[in-house]
Chains A and B, each alone.
Chain A
Amino acid sequence: MSTAEVEEKVKAIIVEKLGVEESEVTREASFTNDLGADSLDTVELIMEFEKAFGTEIPEDKAESITTVGEAIDFLTANAK
């Protein structure tokens, strides 16, 4: 899967789950600081990413994914 494809899918999930505008979902945007996610939302996002990309995101890894860009990078490298 290309980075562009991953990016599109990741952004769609974030828009859907966090109820934000697509324009807010920039690479730099932080889930909690910029997109209004609480700790439960963050867990849910990670679970959605796992489901959508058929991959497992280990807990220690999940903790380091705090921005849209970090999610895209991890999933580009690990998507099946």
Chain B
Amino acid sequence: MSFKRVVVTGLGSVTPIGNTVAEMWQNLLAGVSGAGPISHFDHSKHKVHFACEVKNYNPADYFEKKEIRKLDPSVQFAKIAARECMADSGLDLDSVDRNKIGVIISSGIGGLASFEDEIGDFYASQDRVPRFSPNFVPKILCNIASGHVSIEFGLRGPNFGAISACASSANAIGTAYDMIRIGRATAMVVGGTEAAITPGSIGGFGVMRALSTNNDEYQTASRAFSGSRDGFVMGEGSGCLLIEDLDHAIKRGAKIYAEIIGYGASSDSYHLTAPHPEGAGAILAMQNAIDEAGINPSDIDYINAHGTSTPMGDICEIKAIKSVFGEHAYNLNISSTKTMTGHLLGASGALESIISVKAIENNIVPPTINHREDDLDPNIDYKMNFTFNKAQERKIDIALSNSFGFGGQNACLVFKRYAE
């Protein structure tokens, strides 16, 4: 059995640095930080007062009033990103077999804001009579964005969420890629979405010391690979891609952004939240992706790192990269775009896949911002090129996107410039 080739033919995103792919990409290259004071809730008693929120966002610009109440913000973001992605793909829904087109849009946490609101109301009520909205359950499920998008576009192929915390949407893409490779689907809308800037999430991730508490310097707090990094900055938004059987894409004359040539998934099998100290799971996932792609590590030009800006996570990822790439670790470009977008949790893998594809398209590496020359970590080898502070032009034919989730769940994807 020969595998089908799988290509990326549509992109869409809603992010803290732009509500379209074009705007997001422009701001990435300009090194714009998406961080700001939290506006979604009263954070005065929290330790963390900032996050990367989606900006200039009015749901009524995208949805009917009646619809808005039924859509958790995470689902709103997914629908908007999916619409942009579908429009960008130029896919004519009336001329394709929609039984063979599916959706896997993941969320790491699901409709957390809706969950907290209704549960909060219940416990705050005097009589504790359950008065849950009939929309409560469908608003909080992690798989529900996929359902909404399938209904909007009449897509009847495989439909679910792939859940692995911060690797969720990388696994979504990898799983959908497999489905297309074996012919189970001809195209898949894939991606991730998250809207978890809530009291519970900021409080919960905060108490784990996963979040930066650098409230005074919030705009530069997401500083992956710098000495004084102290945690990630919560983001929100969605990224969606249309991925497609190459023959299907060629037949309809689609614009092809890039080819997906490898997917590697693994588990640290070590600790629920701490990364393996030597990056064992990350090594395995990168190696699996590279092996499946049938390339050498030295063929990779750019790594969009997981790079969350946590003290341990960054070190372990760098160790893993050095282990997989050897001397080539010094030749390739690495960057953490989370320094600009914040950490979109379950949406980060998809957003960073979009960024990797755009990097290939434009031959530019977006930067790792917020680094000061004197802010060094003795455990990090600065002979490696972290693309600090300024985007860098470079011929990029192959890019690797890393995503590592709580649970020790890792997913890596390899994208290649499309050539016949």
**Contacts from A to B (Cβ < 8 Å):** 17-20, 36, 39-41, 43-44, 47, 51
Contact = CB atoms under 8 A, between A and B. Distances in A.
Contact of B66 (A19, A43, A47): A19
Contacts of B138: 40
A41 B66 CA distance: 10
A43 B64 contact: no
B45 interface: no
A17 B66 contact: yes
B133 A44 contact: yes
B134 A44 contact: yes
B134 A19 contact: no
Contacts, number: 23
SS of A interface (majority): helix
Interface string B98-138: 00000000000000000000000000000000010111001
Closest 5 CB pairs of A and B: A19-B66, A40-B134, A43-B134, A19-B65, A44-B134
Contacts of A36: 66
A14 B42 CA distance: 31
Contacts of B133: 44, 47
Contacts of B134: 39-41, 43-44, 47
Interface band, chain B: 10 to 19
B135 A19 contact: no
SS of B interface (majority): loop
B227 to A, nearest CB: 52
B134 to A, nearest CB: 4
B131 A18 contact: no
B64 A19 contact: yes
Contacts of B135: 40, 44
Nearest to A36: B66
23 contacts: A17-B66, A17-B69, A18-B66, A19-B64, A19-B65, A19-B66, A19-B67, A20-B66, A36-B66, A39-B134, A40-B70, A40-B134, A40-B135, A40-B138, A41-B134, A43-B134, A44-B133, A44-B134, A44-B135, A47-B131, A47-B133, A47-B134, A51-B131
Contacts of A17: 66, 69
Contacts of B65: 19
A65 to B, nearest CB: 15
Contacts of A51: 131
Contacts of B67: 19
A26 B69 CA distance: 24
Given A40-B70, A47-B133, 20 more contacts: A17-B66, A17-B69, A18-B66, A19-B64, A19-B65, A19-B66, A19-B67, A20-B66, A36-B66, A39-B134, A40-B134, A40-B135, A41-B134, A43-B134, A44-B133, A44-B134, A44-B135, A47-B131, A47-B134, A51-B131
A15 to B, nearest CB: 10
Contacts of A18: 66
> Which of A17, A39, A40 has the most B CB atoms < 10 Å from its CB?
A40
Contacts of A40: 70, 134-135, 138
Contacts of B66: 17-20, 36
A11 B348 CA distance: 44
Interface string B55-71: 00000000011110110
Nearest to A43: B134
B167 to A, nearest CB: 32
